[in-house]
């Protein structure tokens, strides 16, 4: 009897091992790590987004870190497991705080805040002449997209999330395209499999695949990988202090463009400065002012699936009103926020492990809290 039990046990173990190795790569990764985390660059291959020797250091304001938060705001910061909260006013640091062993030089995943970086790179590519305009056809660069309704698909449609593509934006299923993209090793296959199943330019539907298509267009248009182009057009001219790490699908592969740009709070804030200063920074026009105006204007010609006008999204940027202030921000799924308020010359960066599940006018409720905290200590 004992021998039979050992045999059955051994058989079950061998069977499970066999099934495990028959699973696709992305499913093995998903079952190993389960939920995305802010340090996932440690489990992926990465490509450096290099910086130059001429870096920029944010000066400290005269009242640097003299502010204090009341219990309500302190509870909010800690409830959502914040690891960095940075407030910059008039291009000087007014307040910064870090938790959980993180500091000014700590890497953290941007998640979908990377989408805004891709949008900026599209603007740079237009300025460089690699792309004619936002109304150029996507199939000029990726001919396979011409099938179905793809003949009419433009870069503008991809920028404002109205592609009508077959991308499945599901975060809970190990079989979804988003899971395959995050944990898989063939982003090129996923993009090549996409079909434009609806008429582009009519319905706003948030899809990470739209950003990934834009990244592949950039690669085709510029002849460079995304990290190299981001280094030349953003990270070096901005004066970032640390090389960023853009996670890849495989070694020497494609950047996970819709997410996974890893940097620190102070360098992320440089992207906020571009919005406040209309693309001008450190003596040069890094991104066209006209392009940024388009990028930060609502795609109000679109409706969402609930047939509401889209007054909250531009070119891969989220837009909100707070106390009559126009707020532009990049956001990631775990509460990664790079917030710009040009009227106040204010930049807010919040990084952490969680964000609110409650939405207010299509925005997570906690983003309003981080904005109000900054206004309270800078007014």
Predicted local distance difference test score (pLDDT) of residue 176: 76
Q: With cut-offs at 50, 70 and 90, classify the pLDDT of residue 18.
A: very low
Q: Are 328 and 378 in contact (CB under 8 A)?
A: no
Residue 350 DSSP SS3: strand
Percent of the chain with pLDDT over 70: 89
Q: Are 142 and 191 in contact (CB under 8 A)?
A: yes
Helices 265-276, 114-128: axis angle to 10 degrees equals 50
Q: Which of 170, 221, 213 is nearest to 194 (CA)?
A: 213
Cα→Cα distances 309→165, 301, 305, Å: 20, 7, 10
Continuous segment of H or E residues that includes residue 363: strand 363-364
What tokens does 22 get? 């028959």
Q: Encode pLDDT of 224-233 as tens digits.
A: 999 999 999 9
Residue 137 in this model has a pLDDT that exceeds 70: yes
**Which structural domains are found in the chain, ordered by start?**
40-378 (3.40.710.10)
HSE (side-chain half, CA atoms, 13 Å) at 206: 17
Residue 149 in this model has a pLDDT that exceeds 90: no
Predicted local distance difference test score (pLDDT) of residue 170: 75
Residue 316 in this model has a pLDDT that exceeds 70: yes
Q: Encode pLDDT of 92-109 as tens digits.
A: 999 999 999 999 999 999
Residue 134 DSSP SS3: coil
The sign one gets for the Cα dihedral 174, 176, 177, 182 is negative
CA angle 273, 78, 331 (to 5 degrees): 35
Residue 61 in this model has a pLDDT that exceeds 80: yes
Predicted local distance difference test score (pLDDT) of residue 25: 55
Predicted local distance difference test score (pLDDT) of residue 23: 47
For residue 21, what are the contacts with CB-CB under 8 A and spacing of at least 6? Answer: none
The strand order across the sheet containing 336-341 reads 92-98, 82-89, 346-352, 336-341, 325-332, 318-322
What is the rounded distance in angstroms from the CA atom of residue 62 to the CA atom of residue 66?
Answer: 9
Q: Are 319 and 312 in contact (CB under 8 A)?
A: yes
What DSSP line would sit under 173-212, residue for residue?
Answer: -TTSHHHHHHH-S-HHHHHHH--B-S-TTSB----HHHHH
Residue 253 in this model has a pLDDT that exceeds 70: yes
**Which letter does DSSP use for residue 111 in this model?**
G
What tokens does 146 get? 């011409």
Predicted local distance difference test score (pLDDT) of residue 14: 44
What DSSP line would sit under 141-157, residue for residue?
Answer: T-GGGGTTTGGG-BHHH
Phi, psi of 321 (to 5 degrees): -110, 130
Cα→Cα distances 236→152, 270, 271, 279, 345, Å: 35, 11, 12, 14, 23
Q: What is the mean pLDDT of residues 233-243?
A: 98
What is the rounded distance in angstroms from the CA atom of residue 210 to the CA atom of residue 194?
Answer: 10
Predicted local distance difference test score (pLDDT) of residue 91: 98
For residue 137, what are the contacts with CB-CB under 8 A and spacing of at least 6? Answer: 151, 152, 153, 154
The reported pTM is: 0.92
Q: What is the mean pLDDT of residues 9-26?
A: 47
């Amino acid at each position: 009897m004992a021998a039979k039990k050992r045999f059955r046990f051994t058989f079950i173990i061998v069977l499970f091992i066999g099934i495990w190795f028959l699973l696709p790569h992305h499913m093995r990764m998903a079952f190993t790590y389960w939920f995305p985390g802010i340090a996932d660059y440690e489990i992926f291959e990465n490509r450096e987004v290099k910086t130059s020797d001429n870096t920029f250091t944010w000066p400290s304001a005269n009242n640097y870190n003299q502010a204090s938060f009341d219990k309500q705001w302190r509870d909010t910061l800690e409830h959502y497991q914040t690891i960095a909260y940075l407030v910059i006013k008039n291009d000087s640091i007014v307040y910064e705080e870090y938790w959980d062993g993180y500091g000014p030089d700590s890497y953290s995943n941007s998640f979908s805040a990377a989408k805004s970086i891709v949008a900026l790179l599209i603007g740079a590519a237009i300025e460089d002449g690699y792309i004619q305009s936002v109304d150029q056809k996507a199939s000029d660069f990726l001919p396979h997209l011409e099938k179905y309704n793809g003949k009419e698909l433009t870069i503008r449609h991809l920028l404002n999330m109205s592609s009508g593509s077959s991308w499945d934006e599901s975060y809970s299923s190990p079989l979804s395209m988003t899971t395959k993209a995050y944990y898989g090793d063939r982003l090129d296959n996923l993009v090549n499999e996409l079909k434009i199943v609806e008429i582009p330019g009519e319905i706003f539907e948030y899809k990470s695949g739209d950003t990934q298509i834009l990244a592949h267009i950039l690669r085709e248009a510029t002849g460079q990988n995304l990290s190299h182009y981001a280094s030349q057009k953003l990270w070096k001219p901005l004066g970032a202090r640390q090389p960023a790490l853009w996670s890849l699908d495989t070694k020497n592969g494609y950047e996970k463009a819709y997410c996974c740009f890893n940097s620190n709070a102070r360098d992320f804030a440089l992207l906020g400065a571009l919005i406040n200063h209309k693309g001008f920074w450190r003596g040069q026009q890094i991104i066209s002012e006209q392009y940024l105006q388009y990028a930060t204007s609502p795609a109000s010609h679109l409706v969402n699936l609930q047939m509401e006008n889209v007054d909250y999204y531009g070119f891969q940027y989220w837009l909100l009103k707070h106390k009559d202030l126009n707020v532009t921000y990049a956001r990631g799924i775990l509460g990664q926020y790079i917030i710009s308020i040009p009227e106040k010359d204010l930049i807010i960066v919040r990084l952490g492990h969680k964000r609110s599940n409650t939405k207010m006018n299509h925005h997570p409720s906690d983003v309003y809290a981080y904005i109000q905290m900054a206004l309270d200590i800078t007014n």
